[in-house]
Amino acid sequence: MKDVYVLAEHRKQQLRDTTWEAMAAGRKLAAELGSQCIGILLADKVDEMAAKMAAECQKVIAIEDKAFETLNSDAVIQTLALLMKDRSPFVLVMGNSNSILDLAPGLSVKLDAALATDCFGLEVMEGQVRALRQKYSYKVNTLISFKNADNVVVTLRGGAFTFVPSGQGSGTVEKPASPLGGISLKKRFLGYVEAEKGDVDIAAADIIVSVGRGIGDEPDMSVFESLAETMGGVLACSRPIVDKNLLPKYHQVGTSGVEVKPKVYLALGISGAFQHLGGIKGSPLIVAVNKDPKAPIFRVAQYGVVGDVNEIAPLLQEKIEQSRK
């Protein structure tokens, strides 16, 4: 029977959302396999975070070491290689953040495990674990089986699993000694670099007008700034707009930008890549304008307009102004 292990991700002594999403997936999988869901926490101070995790699963293995102040891939891989040695067969579930992507491939090699990254679904069929992921720029869904693998490592797409606290875990925390003493690490954590803070806080906005590559190569940004102002909102964007230096980084929405929760999110010329959608999953009302009726953004939008943003944005502004007269 494969037990399911969930690797916690933390930053500055706080468990990250990816931990809880992985916990949701791990609990589901363990229930379907009829096995245990066990949390793994590697941190410089474990007590508080381990207690929170233990309230949500059967057991937590918590290892304390200064080297785990961050998810240092070198330290994590070496520790998990030793920790998991006698636990085969297993499924190890974790988020899909940059830190995890830095360690998951090397870890799977060390653990002699199959690896599936960025999965948005997990299921058990005839006792076997299967994972769902996307291919070809998110156009095709693929169901993956791990037929000949005893051990499986899976990373999960942000937002794919919703965590609902149960508070029904056993509360058991096991604290083995860190195996890192005497092992020299090639990587060292130097410090955090805080993101640039701007004049606009898009995370706090109720209304967001967000522009993407579809606004064109040499867009007139004043059209979109003016629309955002008319709507009483702020202007945000997808990553290509920042890459082109059309807006500063603190306007970028998404997994490597800012996570926003506005009451209304108007997406103009944005395709809806998952890295962008990961930043707007908390928004209850998404309105999209895109000239491609098959753009993925329409799958999450409550309202959609198929058309040219450069025509629709000024038209929308005109209508709003007229309605106020």
Residue type, 53: M
Which part of the chain contacts ligand FAD (CB under 6 A), choosing from 65-73, 117-125, 270-278, 314-322? Answer: 270-278
Among 260, 286, 309, 313, binds ligand FAD (CB under 6 A): 309
- Residue tagged 């000949």 (tokens): 148
Asked whether position 254 contacts ligand FAD by CB under 6 A, the answer is: yes
> Which residues within the stretch 277-306 sit at the binding site for ligand FAD (CB under 6 A)?
279, 289-292, 295
Does the protein bind ligand FAD through residue 100 (CB under 6 A)?
Answer: no
DSSP one-letter code for 25: H
User: Minimum distance between the CB of residue 191 and ligand FAD, rounded to whole angstroms?
Assistant: 22
Q: Is the link from the previous residue into 293 a cis peptide, with omega within 30 of 0?
A: no
- Per CB under 6 A, does 145 bind ligand FAD? no
Instruction: Identify residues 53-72 at the interface with ligand FAD (CB under 6 A).
Output: none
> Shortest distance, CB of residue 311 to ligand FAD, whole angstroms?
8
Which residue in this structure is represented by tokens 């330290």?
75
Closest separation between CB of residue 196 and ligand FAD, Å?
15
User: Which strand ranges, in their side-by-side order, compose the sheet holding 128-135?
Assistant: 121-125, 128-135, 140-145
CB of 257 to ligand FAD, least distance (A): 4
Rounded Cα–Cα distance for residues 239 and 276 (Å): 8
User: Scanning residues 212 to 241, which ones bind ligand FAD (CB under 6 A)?
Assistant: 212-214, 238-240
What's the rounded Cα separation, in Å, for the pair 157 and 106?
A: 19
As given in the structure block, the two tokens for residue 116 are 């599936």
Neighbours of 56 (CB within 10 A): 25
Phi, psi angles (nearest 5°) of residue 302? -80, -35
> Using CB under 6 A as the criterion, which residues of the chain lie in contact with ligand FAD when the complex forms?
212-214, 238-240, 252-257, 269-271, 273, 275-276, 279, 289-292, 295, 308-310
